[in-house]
Amino acid sequence: MSSDSVSSNSHGQSDEQWMSPYEYEVNATFLLYHNQRFVQQLNSQRDNMNVLNGKIQALRENRASYDAMLVSINQEWNQVIDDLIFLEARAGGLLNALKALNNAENSGEENFLSRLLETDSIATGYIDGALANRCLSTERLIKLLEDAINAERSRTESITLSLPAEVSAE
């Protein structure tokens, strides 16, 4: 290379290709302006995202509240049905009450719980557990009713057997 050739800097660019200080200022101002715009856009989007997250959280809380309310309503409804069946049984319609208990358990409760399962608003395990507990308590209730009926029959038979002996003794 000759001495009149253009010298190169460490980046392999010639000194003539370097920008003037004025061009640095223009580029720095341009970059600073765009950087500020991007920061403003980022802050705006962050604020919008925070607002949306707040709305999502409120909706989740409402959903949880509605789910809890539905479970509570289901429990109260089942209690009302059971109370009506027991009242009917005490009024003398024991056979009809047991049939109603079977029908109520198979139709209303299953329909209600299946609707809940379709919406997937509550954990499936919770509903399955609630249904299993309900069935278990119903089976226990029927067993207690059978025991009460058998005890009443035994008591009635013992009274019936003791009546002729008392009448003949007089």
Which of the pair, 108 or 31, is modelled with greater confidence? 31
Which of the pair, 135 or 13, is modelled with greater confidence? 135
Average pLDDT, the chain: 73
Nearest Cα to Cα of residue 125 among 135, 116, 112: 116
Report yes or no on 145 lying in a domain. yes
Report yes or no on 15 lying in a domain. no
Report yes or no on 36 lying in a domain. yes
> Residue 8 and residue 21: Cα distance in Å, rounded?
19
Segment 33-38 shows an average pLDDT of: 94
Share of the chain above pLDDT 90, in %: 16
What is the model's pLDDT at position 131? 73
Output the CA angle 78-101-115, nearest 5 degrees: 50
Segment 99-104 shows an average pLDDT of: 54
Report yes or no on 142 lying in a domain. yes
Which of the pair, 165 or 49, is modelled with greater confidence? 49
Report yes or no on 9 lying in a domain. no
> DSSP H helical segments within the chain, as ranges?
21-90, 94-104, 110-119, 124-169
Q: Is 11 helix (H, G, I), strand (E, B) or coil?
A: coil
Cβ neighbours, 10 Å, residue 81? 17
Which of the pair, 122 or 92, is modelled with greater confidence? 92
Domain count, the chain: 1
Note down the domain range covering 131.
20-162
Residue 81 has pLDDT above 50, yes or no: yes
Report yes or no on 86 lying in a domain. yes
Report yes or no on 74 lying in a domain. yes
Report yes or no on 104 lying in a domain. yes
Residue 7 has pLDDT above 50, yes or no: no
